[in-house]
Structure 1
Amino acid sequence: MLSQLRDLDLQLLRLFVTVVESGGFSAAQGELGIGQSTISTQMAKLETRLGFRLCERGKAGFRLTPKGEQVLAATRRLFAAIELFKGEAQGMADKLLGELHVGLSEALADEVLERLGAAIGLFRRRNQAVQIELLSAMPAELERRLLQGQLQLAIGYFSGSQTALDYRSLFRERQQLYCGRGHPLFARAPVELAELEPCDGVLHPYRFIVADEPWQAGVSSARSEQVEGCLAFILSGAHIGYLPGHVAAPWEARGQLRALLPGRLGYEIDFRLARHRARSPSEAQRALEEDLLAAFA
Structure 2
Amino acid sequence: MLSQLRDLDLQLLRLFVTVVECGGFSAAQGELGIGQSTISTQMAKLETRLGFRLCERGKGGFRLTPKGEQVLSATRKLFAAIESFKGEAQGMADKLLGELRIGLSEGLAASVLEQVAEAIRRFRGRNQAVQIELLTAMPAELERRLLQGQLQLAIGYFSGNQAALDYQPLFHERQILYCAEGHPLFERNDISPDELMQADRVHHPYRFVQASEPFQSAPSSAQTEQVDGALAFILSGRHIGYLPEHIASPWLSRGRLRAMDADALSFTVQFHLASHRGQHPGDAQRAFVADLLAAFAPG
TM-score by length of 1: 0.94
Output the CA distance in 2 between the equivalents of 1:73 and 1:150: 50
Aligned equivalent of 2:59: 59
**Structure 1 stretch 191-200 or stretch 258-267: which is displaced more?**
191-200
Partner deviation per Cα, 1:66-109 (whole Å, 9 max, x = no partner): 22222111111111111122222223333322221111111111
How far has the Cα of 1:190 moved from its partner? 2.4
Contact 1:123 1:288 in 2 (8 A): yes
Does 2:17 align with 1:17? Answer: yes
Output the CA distance in 2 between the equivalents of 1:138 and 1:3: 60
The structure-2 alpha-carbon separation of the partners of 1:20 and 1:213, relative to structure 1 and needing over 3 Å to count, comes to same
Contact 2:204 2:210 in 1 (8 A): no
The structure-2 alpha-carbon separation of the partners of 1:210 and 1:53, relative to structure 1 and needing over 3 Å to count, comes to same
Aligned equivalent of 1:191: 191
Contact 1:191 1:261 in 2 (8 A): no
Where structure 1 has 5 or more consecutive residues not aligned to the other structure, the ranges are none
Aligned-residue RMSD, C-alpha:
1.7
Q: Give the letter for the 2:208 counterpart.
A: F
Q: Give the letter for the 2:146 counterpart.
A: L
**Structure 1 stretch 5-14 or stretch 27-36: which is displaced more?**
27-36
Aligned equivalent of 1:158: 158
Matched ranges for 1:12-161 at <5 A: 12-161=12-161
Aligned equivalent of 1:261: 261
**Structure 1 stretch 16-25 or stretch 179-188: which is displaced more?**
179-188
Contact 1:179 1:185 in 2 (8 A): yes
How far has the Cα of 1:289 moved from its partner? 1.3
Contact 1:13 1:46 in 2 (8 A): yes
Q: Give the letter for the 1:218 counterpart.
A: A
Q: Give the letter for the 1:281 counterpart.
A: P
How far has the Cα of 1:211 moved from its partner? 4.1
What percentage of aligned pairs have identical amino acids? 74
Output the CA distance in 2 between the equivalents of 1:54 and 1:192: 104
Partner SS, residue 169 of structure 1: strand
Aligned equivalent of 2:182: 182
Where structure 2 has 5 or more consecutive residues not aligned to the other structure, the ranges are none
Output the CA distance in 2 between the equivalents of 1:186 and 1:2: 91
Which runs of at least 4 in structure 1 moved beyond 6 Å after TM superposition? Answer: none
Contact 1:139 1:158 in 2 (8 A): yes
Task: Give the number of aligned pairs.
Answer: 297
How far has the Cα of 1:151 moved from its partner? 1.4
Output the CA distance in 1 between the equivalents of 2:32 and 2:250: 81
Q: Give the letter for the 2:158 counterpart.
A: F
Aligned equivalent of 1:242: 242
Output the CA distance in 2 between the equivalents of 1:47 and 1:217: 93
Output the CA distance in 1 between the equivalents of 2:209 and 2:20: 82
How far has the Cα of 1:207 moved from its partner? 3.0
Partner SS, residue 223 of structure 1: coil
